[in-house]
Each structure stands twice: as structure tokens, then as C-alpha cells.
């Protein structure tokens, strides 16, 4: 009955999309481009690039899981009123795929992953034919999405194309500094302890880029459920390798990894759970952790200190994130 109800809801939303055809540019009342975004990481980037010329409306706030997110009729109306829509792509917003396909007949819908070569994308064995959507954890890949977004804004608003390009170039310089800083920080973790264990398998790009082994208790989507054997295997791995910390994500319930922690303690190994990581959503708007750069630096600090490393001094390009590092380390 529940699945039937959800199907009917999805059908009703798709019908709503089809009933209100749009034509022409629907700029906001103040003359700015009206951009709608899905996850908070994209919202932040479009704000950085668009500046004063783009009004950005993010659908998903802090702690929202995009894998499970189901749009409301109000969400669909917001999307219909957009000049341009930015989403992650690669099935990140799994419940919204059909709606985006329908809207793309009327409105420009941009996937941040659309220009990343397939050779750079990671497969996920549990879902043959699908790629891991968590590309933002490899800063070099996310930078490609920044260029994609800037070009898309310039295409619908050529009058401000130079501004979008300049804003993107400035932001990309900060991302380059961030990418190098992560490499430096993770390298301080003793090699035997350079293992990152999380609730769901969202950090594979991070592991590949920054040379740290990543293990997730459940699959790439938070719809997956970890079984008893999965938990037992993970506890044995933690105890055998004497892994000092495991990590809970802000958009995923903590109870399963807390059970892993208790099971490891029962076997004589005290594994800690440091500050929560941000995975599919950043922190609160208006905070450093509410930005893409801030959420990544928070994660890097929690991971590095939790696994026995030390945080290097921040480069000048990231100096305004000192408070983020301090909060992550002291949590």
C-alpha cells in the first residue's frame, strides 16, 4: 500500500509539471536570474558564481538526504518558476529523475557531473551501470562542475558572462588550495591508521584522490540496509587493525555505527566517534560549515585528528576557515 501511494504521489507531481508549460525567461522581481538548486553544496557554488545577478533557491537544507528526498507540490512549483535548475546528476536525487526529465523540456536543467569524463567516475557494483554520485569529495572533479555552472549561467545571461567567468576563476583558485591542503593533511595520518570507516559508502572519491582507504557499512545509497554479518565483519576489521575512529555522517542515522562502537568495545577495543561528517548535505546556512569549502575542511579536520594525524597551517586562500577547523577538532 505504501509503495502504491508513493507511486500515485509521483504521478501527480509529474502531471503538475506537465500542466503548466513555461515560455521565455522567468526572472525574479528584482531582475536577477532565478536559479533553483537541489543540495546545499550546489546552492553554495551557484551563489559564489552568480553573485549579485542570480537569486538562488535551494530545495534541500542541512541534514537532508538527497537519495531519499521526495519533492512536494510546492517544490515542483518552485522548479517550474526557475530560469535554470542545477542538480548533482548521476542519480544523486534519485526520487526526482522523472521530474527533471519533464522539466528539461521547458527549462534548462544542468547536472554538475555532466562534463566529467566517464573515465573519472567510479562504478558502484551494487548498481550495475550506475556511477557514484558523490563527486564533490574529489575537489578536482567538483571544480569541473564549477566551470559547467558558470558556462550555463553565461548562456542564459550573456550580459553578465564576464562576471560569472571571473567569479568562477576566483573560486577555482580557492578550490585548488583546498585540494592541495587535503592531500597534505591526510598524509600526516600514520599509514597503518589511514582507514576511514563511515555509515554509507559516500567517500570513495575522497579515498581515491587523497590516498586513504574507505569502508562503508552500507551501500552508496542510504536506502540500503546493513545486515548483521556486515556489522560483524566491520567490527572484526576495526579490532584487528586497531582503527582509532569511525565516522557518522550528518544526513545518516548514527545508531548503526554506535552499535559497531559498542561491539568493538565488547571485544576490548575502544574506537571513538569524532565530530559528525558532512556527506550529502553541508551545515547550517550562514556558518562556515554551511559552505562547500567549509564542510570539506570540517571533514578533513575530523578525519585527520580522529585517525592520529595533525592539521597543517591553513594557506592564505583558506585563512577565513580557522574557526571551522577549531570547531571540528574540539567537538
Grid coordinates belonging to 62: 542541512
What are residue 41's phi and psi, to 5 degrees? Answer: -65, -35
Domain total in the chain = 2
227 in the same domain as 151: no
What pLDDT digit, counting tens, does each position of 285-301 carry?
899 999 999 999 999 99
171 in the same domain as 273: no
Residue-level pLDDT at 159: 97
Residue 30 contacts residue 55 (beta carbons within 8 Å): yes
Residue 226 contacts residue 256 (beta carbons within 8 Å): yes
Longest dimension (CA), the chain: 66
| Residue keyed to cell 534541500 | 60
Where in the chain does DSSP place strands (E)?
33-37, 54-58, 84-87, 108-111, 195-200, 213-218
Smallest Cα–Cα separation from 32: which of 55, 12, 16?
55
Examine the pLDDT at 283 and tell me if it is beyond 60: yes
111 in the same domain as 234: no
324 in the same domain as 286: yes
254 in the same domain as 307: yes
Decide which of 136, 161, 177 is a domain's last residue. Answer: 177
**Measured in whole angstroms, how far is the alpha carbon of residue 297 from the centre of its chain?**
13
**Measured in whole angstroms, how far is the alpha carbon of residue 47 from the centre of its chain?**
16
What pLDDT digit, counting tens, does each position of 220-264 carry?
344 445 567 777 888 898 999 999 999 988 766 677 788 889 999
**Measured in whole angstroms, how far is the alpha carbon of residue 106 from the centre of its chain?**
27
Distance from C-alpha of 168 to C-alpha of 180, rounded to nearest angstrom: 18
Decide which of 129, 160, 177 is a domain's last residue. Answer: 177
> For the whole prediction, is pTM greater than 0.85?
yes
163 in the same domain as 25: yes
Grid coordinates belonging to 111: 547536472
Residue-level pLDDT at 148: 97
Distance from C-alpha of 100 to C-alpha of 111, rounded to nearest angstrom: 10
Torsion sign, CA atoms 127, 67, 218, 324: positive
Examine the pLDDT at 95 and tell me if it is beyond 50: yes
42 in the same domain as 110: yes
Examine the pLDDT at 201 and tell me if it is beyond 50: yes
- What is the chain's mean pLDDT, rounded? 87
Grid coordinates belonging to 130: 550506475
| DSSP code, position 245 | B
147 in the same domain as 273: no
Task: Tell me the C-alpha to C-alpha distance, in Å, between residue 102 and each of 14, 17, 106, 177.
Answer: 7, 7, 8, 39
151 in the same domain as 126: yes
Decide which of 156, 177, 198 is a domain's last residue. Answer: 177
127 band by pLDDT with thresholds 50, 70 and 90? low
List the end-to-end C-alpha distance of the chain, in Å, as a whole number: 43
Distance from C-alpha of 245 to C-alpha of 306, rounded to nearest angstrom: 6
Residue-number span of the structural domain to which 35 is assigned: 2-177
Rounded mean pLDDT, 207-211: 97
Query: What's the CATH number where 164 sits?
Result: 3.40.50.1980
160 in the same domain as 237: no
137 in the same domain as 282: no
Distance from C-alpha of 60 to C-alpha of 49, rounded to nearest angstrom: 19
Grid coordinates belonging to 135: 563527486
What pLDDT digit, counting tens, does each position of 144-197 carry?
999 999 999 999 999 999 999 999 999 999 999 999 999 999 999 999 999 999
140 in the same domain as 225: no
Amino acid at each position: 500500500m505504501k509503495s502504491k501511494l508513493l507511486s500515485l504521489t509521483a504521478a501527480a507531481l509529474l502531471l503538475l509539471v506537465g500542466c503548466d508549460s513555461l515560455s521565455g525567461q522567468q526572472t525574479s522581481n528584482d531582475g536577477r536570474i532565478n536559479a533553483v538548486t537541489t543540495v546545499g553544496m550546489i546552492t553554495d557554488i551557484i551563489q559564489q558564481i552568480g553573485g549579485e545577478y542570480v537569486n538562488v533557491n535551494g530545495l534541500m537544507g542541512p541534514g537532508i538526504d538527497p537519495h531519499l528526498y521526495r519533492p512536494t507540490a510546492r517544490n515542483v512549483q518552485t522548479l517550474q518558476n526557475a530560469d535554470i535548475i542545477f542538480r548533482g546528476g548521476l542519480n544523486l536525487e534519485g526520487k526526482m529523475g522523472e521530474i527533471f526529465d519533464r522539466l528539461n523540456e521547458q527549462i534548462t536543467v544542468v547536472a554538475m557531473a555532466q562534463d566529467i569524463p566517464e573515465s573519472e567516475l567510479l562504478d558502484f557494483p551494487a548498481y550495475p551501470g550506475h556511477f557514484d554520485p558523490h563527486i564533490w569529495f574529489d575537489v578536482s572533479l567538483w571544480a569541473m562542475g564549477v566551470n559547467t555552472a558558470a558556462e550555463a549561467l553565461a548562456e542564459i545571461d550573456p550580459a553578465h558572462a564576464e562576471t560569472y567567468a571571473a567569479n568562477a576563476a576566483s573560486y577555482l583558485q580557492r578550490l585548488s588550495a583546498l585540494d592541495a591542503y587535503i592531500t597534505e593533511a591526510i598524509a600526516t595520518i600514520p599509514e597503518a591508521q589511514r582507514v576511514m570507516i563511515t555509515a554509507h559508502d559516500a567517500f570513495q572519491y575522497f579515498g581515491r584522490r587523497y590516498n586513504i582507504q574507505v569502508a562503508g557499512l552500507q551501500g552508496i545509497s542510504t536506502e540500503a540496509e546493513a545486515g548483521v554479518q556486515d556489522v560483524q565483519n566491520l567490527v572484526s576489521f576495526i579490532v584487528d587493525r586497531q582503527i582509532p575512529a569511525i565516522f557518522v555522517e550528518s544526513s545518516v542515522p548514527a545508531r548503526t555505527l554506535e552499535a559497531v562502537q559498542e561491539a568493538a568495545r565488547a571485544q576490548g577495543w575502544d574506537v571513538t566517534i569524532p565530530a559528525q561528517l558532512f556527506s550529502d548535505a553541508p551545515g547550517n546556512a550562514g556558518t562556515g560549515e554551511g559552505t562547500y569549502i567549509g564542510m570539506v575542511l570540517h571533514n578533513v579536520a575530523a578525519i585527520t585528528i580522529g585517525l592520529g594525524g595533525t592539521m597543517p597551517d591553513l594557506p592564505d586562500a583558506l585563512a577565513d576557515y580557522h574557526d571551522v577547523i577549531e570547531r571540528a577538532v574540539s567537538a
